[in-house]
Amino acid sequence: MPETPSIDVRELNFRYPGCAPTLRDVCLSVEAGETVALVGPSGAGKSTLLLHINGLLPTTAAHDAEQAAVFINGTPVIREHLTSIRKEVGFLFQNPDDQLFCPTVGRDVAFGPLNLGLARDVVSARVSETLEAVGLPGFEDRDTLQLSVGERKRVCLAAVLACQPKVLVLDEPFSNLDPRNRRELTTILKNFEGTQLLATHDLDRVVDLSDRVLLIDEGELRADGATR
C-alpha cells in the first residue's frame, strides 16, 4: 500500500474576501522526509498556499472533513484537528515580527513547548538544545528586539524546532539574510530529518536543499518535478 503523504493538497481553491481567486485547483503531495521548494513570482500565491497547510486561513472546508482540501499525514486540516495539526506542522513566517512576541529569546522559544503541556524542566532543556542547534547558545536572556535580523530569524526557527514538528513549512526563510547567515540556515535545514516545504526566491538554496520543485503562478501549480 502506498505511504500516506506527509502533506497532501487536493484541489485547493481559495479567494480573499472581495478578491479574484488566489489559489485555483492546487494539487500537490509531499512524502515523509522529502524537501520540496515552492517557487514562483511575487503574488503567485505561495504564502497563501503555505498558510493553508496548518490552517492559518479559513478554507471553504473549515468545518467539514468531507470537503477538506489539505491533509497532514492523512488528517484533514479542519477546525477540530487544528491543535493536533499544529503539533505536527512547524511554520516559519517570512517576517520574524509575525512570530516573536515575548520580551526575551528564552521565553519566545519556550512558548510552544509550554503550550504543548511539557514540564518546565523539559522545556528548559529543549530551549537550550534548540538555541544551540541554531547557533545561538546561551541567548535565553537576550532581548529579542535587540537582535539582528539573522539572529531573530534563527530564534524563530528555534521556537519552531523546540516543538519537534514532523513537518516544517518555511515562508521565504532566506530573505533579508546575508550570505553567511544563508549558509548557516541551510545547514540547519539540512539537519532537519522531517518533511520540508519551503517557499523561496533563492534558487541556489533550492538546488542545495530540495529534492523537488513546485512552480506556482497566478494561483495555479504549473510544474512539479525533480530539482535537477
For binding to ligand ADP (CB under 6 A), which residues are involved?
A: 16, 19, 22, 40, 42-48
Nearer Cβ to ligand ADP (48/73): 48
Spell out the alpha helix ranges (H) of 23-148. 46-53, 82-88, 105-115, 120-133
Q: How many angstroms separate the most distant Cα atoms in the chain?
A: 52
Which lies closer to ligand ADP via its Cβ, residue 36 or residue 110? 36
Cell numbers given for 107: 521565553
Nearer of residues 58 and 74 to ligand ADP, judged by Cβ: 58
Minimum distance of ligand ADP from residue 227's CB (angstroms): 19
Number of residues that make up the chain? 228
Using alpha carbons, select from 186, 151, 147 the residue that is nearest to residue 170. 186
**Burial label, 146 (beta-carbon count in 10 A; 0-12, 13-18, 19+):** exposed
Q: Measured between alpha carbons, how far is 57 from 117 in angstroms, rounded to an integer? A: 25
Q: Which is nearer to ligand ADP, 20 or 226 (CB)?
A: 20
Least distance (Å) between residue 42 CB and ligand ADP = 4
| Minimum distance, C-beta of residue 197 to ligand ADP, in the bound complex (Å) | 13
Does an H or E element contain 220, and which? strand 220-226
CB of 4 to ligand ADP, least distance (A): 27
